[in-house]
Amino acid sequence: MLIIRNCMSIINRQRTGVALFANGNAQNRSQSSTNAEVKEQRVTRDDVEWQNARSFDSIPAASGLSLIYNMAFPGGKYKNMDLTQLVLGMRNDYGEFFRMPKIFGSDAMVITYNPKDFEAVYRHEGIWPHRPGSDTLRYHRESYRKDFYKGVEGLIPSQGKSWGEFRSIVNPVLMQPKNVRLYYKKMSQVNCEFVERIKTIRDATNQEVPHNFIEDINRWTLESVSVVALDKQLGLLKESDKSDNVMLLFKSLDEFFTYAGDLEVKPSLWRYVQTPMKKKLMNAYDNIQKVTLEFVNEALVRLEAEENKGIVRAENEKSVLEKLLKIDKKVATIMAMDMLMAGVDTTSSTFAAAMLCIATNPVKQDKLREEVMRVLPNKDSEFTEDSMKNVPYLRACIKESQRMYPLVIGHARTTNRDCVLSGHKVPAGTFVSMMPLSMLSNDEYFPKASEFLPERWLRSDASTSKCPANPLKTTNPFVFLPFGFGPRMCVGKRIVDMELELGIARIIRNFKVEFNHSRENAFRSVLINKPNIPLRFKFTDLDH
């Protein structure tokens, strides 16, 4: 999710005319200090590739003023475009490789649509890749509520190493067999509640869920990520059981996405004055912080009570939250907040994409159900680690839907070494935005790209040399990176895998799913690609 912010902040600086004129605000300082640090650590290259490359200045440059006009002013050709349209429009106008000039205090930036460049950037990113995060969240933590955060940056606005620490804690916990079983059990409970909710909200005559089904999906994803972030179920999928705090958290997470999307993408004066939307966003951040802190305090009381009763878990059986609490309560709270903020709309959009693809491809759905029936013989069977190792078609369906409806429009890094991109010298410290978007639907990279073909992600049987390579396989792995790449790839991937695989399997085991409405413009790019049509799926109960 963060990645898109980075793409956005590139565009944003060009888009928000006023923002370009200012220098010296907290956000700009953070960004430039990162770039300065990178430049200081720079290892000078003197190899043949570097010597032969053309200069940075010879990279075709977009005119800053025309970009500002086109993005921000009435009549500008990019003015009313969503991000996907903007990115495709700019490629048409400026080509596959160009730079945004160093104007009005912003750093020079390079935008590339060339997959060889993606590979070069990732291959040179080292173990601590740089990528700026959310400006509004950083402002909340570094300025607005600095007394609370006291320098703990968290994951989302991370310039530093929080994500490395998080990954080193979370991934081992989610790999311990005992923990995996426990999380499977908890997530299965959430998924069974989701199935029951679908049965309750669907229309009794046509079996379709209401037009605002995305809200129910959001409830499900928040409930699922809370199992990890807060060691707690919130009760959002049931009619009773919801405390005021839970509803405040749900509402504030929704507001965060709406307002941050608006402020970080569209022209806004928020960096200089207290706009009404900035006030609302700061209020949403305050509420997320307050409720998360209360839930973390609750968890501490729970754990203390357990300890007093003599219940002691071995180190390798401790939950993600317990491990984070061992570092520090504040760190645990901030990391939990970030999991909640990064883990709802992202997973909901990806789930919606998968369901749209599965619902509109009945032959693939039948094939998927056959596989699911083997691991879940009954509607209420339990998932086991072994069963989840045997669902290649389910995984392929999810991957293929991420290709057809990608969550993000691109990826970004501030290079920490000199790179040669599209034959040009790009010095360390340059903000590079990589845009694979149009390639995901291009036959050159994905044979029969317009078709939903999960088979392209299945391994051909390599045990026999007679077996031909999969002809549908992508021709370039750097084009499709739904969770990013390298040390800085999505820290939530393991959690997402569990949520989506278990959730989709349970739904396909319970229902035949159809979608009998138009899918035109099914998604719209705001910070991420979000569903743009009513998700009126038809869920028909399976007989057995």
**According to CB under 6 A, which residues from 209 to 268 bind ligand HEM?**
225
407, 449, 502, 504: which one binds ligand HEM (CB under 6 A): 407
**According to CB under 6 A, which residues from 310 to 349 bind ligand HEM?**
338-339, 342-343, 346-347
H-run or E-run covering 494? helix 493-510
Q: Nearest distance from residue 104's CB to ligand HEM, in Å?
A: 26
Q: Nearest distance from residue 350's CB to ligand HEM, in Å?
A: 4
Nearest CB to ligand HEM, comparing residues 67 and 344:
344
For residue 192, which of 238, 227, 241, 234 has the smallest C-alpha distance? 238
Strand 419-421 relative to strand 424-426, pairing:
antiparallel
Stretch that binds ligand HEM, among 190-198, 358-366, 453-461, 492-500 (CB under 6 A): 492-500
Nearest CB to ligand HEM, comparing residues 99 and 411:
411
Residue 130 DSSP symbol: B
CB-based burial label for 543 (10 Å; 0-12, 13-18, 19+): exposed
For residue 421, which of 18, 98, 137 has the smallest C-alpha distance? 98
Nearest CB to ligand HEM, comparing residues 20 and 527:
527
Nearest CB to ligand HEM, comparing residues 17 and 484:
484
Q: Nearest distance from residue 122's CB to ligand HEM, in Å?
A: 8
Contact (CB, 8 A) for 487 and 127: yes
Which x/- pattern over 347-376 shows residues binding ligand HEM (rule: CB under 6 A)? Answer: x--x--------------------------
419 is known to lie in a ligand binding site = no
Stretch that binds ligand HEM, among 184-192, 445-453, 469-477, 484-492 (CB under 6 A): 484-492
**According to CB under 6 A, which residues from 92 to 121 bind ligand HEM?**
none
**According to CB under 6 A, which residues from 3 to 62 bind ligand HEM?**
3
Nearest CB to ligand HEM, comparing residues 38 and 71:
38
Structure tokens at 257: 């996405």
Distance between CA atoms of residues 161 and 273, nearest Å = 31
Contact (CB, 8 A) for 169 and 324: yes
Q: Nearest distance from residue 352's CB to ligand HEM, in Å?
A: 11
Q: Which residue is nearest to ligand HEM, using beta carbons?
A: 484
* Total site size for ligand HEM, rule CB under 6 A: 31
Would you call 411 helix, strand, or coil by DSSP? strand
CB atoms within 10 A of CB 220: 25
214, 397, 496, 504: which one binds ligand HEM (CB under 6 A): 496
For residue 109, which of 13, 2, 1, 3 has the smallest C-alpha distance? 13
Q: Nearest distance from residue 363's CB to ligand HEM, in Å?
A: 25
Stretch that binds ligand HEM, among 31-39, 112-120, 200-208, 485-493 (CB under 6 A): 485-493
Strand order in the sheet with 411-414: 97-100, 109-112, 431-434, 411-414
Query: Going by C-beta distance under 8 Å and a sequence separation of 6 or more, which residues neighbour residue 405?
Result: 349, 352, 353, 356, 357, 522, 523, 529
Structure tokens at 342: 């990064």
Structure tokens at 447: 């044979």
CB-based burial label for 92 (10 Å; 0-12, 13-18, 19+): exposed
Nearest CB to ligand HEM, comparing residues 3 and 108:
3
Q: Does 485 bind ligand HEM (CB under 6 A)?
A: yes
Query: Going by C-beta distance under 8 Å and a sequence separation of 6 or more, which residues neighbour residue 89?
Result: 77, 78, 81
Nearest CB to ligand HEM, comparing residues 436 and 484:
484
The binding site for heme consists of 490
The binding site consists of 490
Please report, as ranges, the residues that interact with ligand HEM according to CB under 6 A.
Answer: 1-3, 131, 133, 155-156, 158, 163, 225, 338-339, 342-343, 346-347, 350, 407-408, 411, 482-485, 488-492, 495-496
